[in-house]
Amino acid sequence: METLTRFDVAEYNGVFMVVVESDLLPPDASIVVIPLLAHYPAVQHLNPELQHNGKRLILATRLIASVRRSSLTRSGSMGDQGDLITRAVDVLMAGI
């Protein structure tokens, strides 16, 4: 299984995704991710614009999903942008 931690960026079928699952959960064959898309309709705080490898990508928070770890290839980290990602998940779940 690929070692992935919270806020890691991984690629799945040509699409970058950020891991949002807590590192405190026991390992599983699947992991919770949110796609990072170049063109996605942004809603303030729900879809922040993030930087990865010099590219500006939108966090497509409503497209949150679970993906098989074996399908992902790690390509970096967004740990420095973790507050924006956490806020987007909070807005999705609680509306605040």
- Is pLDDT at 62 greater than 90 in this prediction? yes
Q: Is 39 helix (H, G, I), strand (E, B) or coil?
A: coil
61: tokens are 């928070």
Confidence of residue 27 (pLDDT cuts 50, 70, 90): confident
Query: pTM of the predicted model, to two decimals?
Result: 0.94
Please, which pLDDT band fits residue 9 given cuts at 50, 70 and 90? very high
Structural domain contains residue 2 = no
| 69: in domain | yes
Count of domains in the chain?
A: 1
- Does the residue 83 lie in any domain? yes
Give the whole-number percent of the chain exceeding pLDDT 70: 98
> What's the CA gap between 72 and 90, in Å, rounded?
25
Q: Does residue 53 register a pLDDT over 80?
A: yes
* Residue 24 domain boundaries: 8-94
For residue 23, give the CATH number of its domain.
2.30.30.110
pLDDT of 2 > 80? The answer is no
